[in-house]
Amino acid sequence: MESFAPDPNLVTLERFYALIRAKQQKRRVPGLGEKLNFQLEKLSEKGISNLGQLLHRLGTKKNLMELSVQTGILVDDLCLLKREAGSCFPRARGLSLFPGIPYEFVEVLNSAGIKNSRNFFESTQSEAQRKTLSTRTGIPVSRIMEILALCDISRIARVGGTMARNLLLAGVRSVDELAGKQPSDLYDGIESVMVKYKSRAGHISMDSVTLWIVHAQLIRDCRRKEDPS
């Protein structure tokens, strides 16, 4: 079964920095910029090859200070790096934040102990789990599949409940599908949906769409490492 969040030990340092670079296409990340290659080189020299190892070395103020001395990377830059690392991991969202999920569904799911997108995602991975949940709650399996798609898509950085619904309406039903999209095609699809349904999700840019795809590819590839089958 797939975990809601990727295993940080499966996220290579190179993939983590690729995600940071994708973010910089939309907005400059203070303190990183042209320093990225230097940081990657110095961290690699210290045997740090994945995000799990990096987070361990940044876990306490003492560790962070020691790593700064060892690598020559400024403390402020390491603090920014630690903050960026947190964005690799999805945030659980309340089910009421997803447009189109009826209030009565949210209530019955809450009563069943499923209170957010993480709970729902991890409770509906298999067909058997979905059928069992449908029997317990009275929610049709088709609607459970719809909510699962929303919870899956919302694992992507900067994709909230409304944008997850827009992506679903644009034909994206999973992180894996998002990972295989071309930025220009996805951008056009999202724009069409937002105009058609008068979405209030706010402005999107090609840079935003590219970031979503890069993050989706990271999550997809971590899953494949966990379960090669």
pLDDT single digits (tens) 127-151: 999 999 999 999 999 999 999 999 9
Write down the pLDDT at residue 188: 94
> 91 or 198: which carries more pLDDT confidence?
91
Instruction: Give the integer Cα–Cα distance in Å for 109 and 119.
Output: 10
Computed on alpha carbons and rounded to an integer, the radius of gyration of the chain in Å comes to 19
Report the pLDDT value the prediction gives residue 21, as an integer from 0 to 100: 84
Question: What residues have CB less than 8 Å from 17, skipping those under 6 apart?
Answer: 36, 39, 40
Rounded to a whole number, what is the largest CA-CA distance in the chain?
58
Joined tokens for residue 40: 């990657």
Mean pLDDT of 47-66: 95
Q: What is the pLDDT of residues 69-93, one digit of tens each?
A: 999 999 998 998 899 888 889 999 9
Q: CA-CA distance, 97 to 94, in Å (whole number)?
A: 6
**Up-side HSE of residue 95: CA atoms within 13 Å toward CB?**
25
Task: Report how far residue 144's alpha carbon sits from residue 131's, in angstroms, rounded to the nearest whole number.
Answer: 9
Q: What is the CATH number of domain 92-155?
A: 1.10.150
The ranges assigned to domains in the chain are 8-86, 92-155, 156-229
DSSP letter at 171?
T
pTM recorded for the entire structure: 0.90
pLDDT above 70: residue 227: yes
Distance CA 133, CA 140 (A): 9
pLDDT at 202 over 80: no
Q: How far apart are CA 5 and CA 175, in angstroms?
A: 12
Kindly report which listed range (10-19, 23-32, 39-48, 176-185) carries the lowest average pLDDT score: 23-32
Residue 101 pLDDT level (bands cut at 50, 70, 90): very high
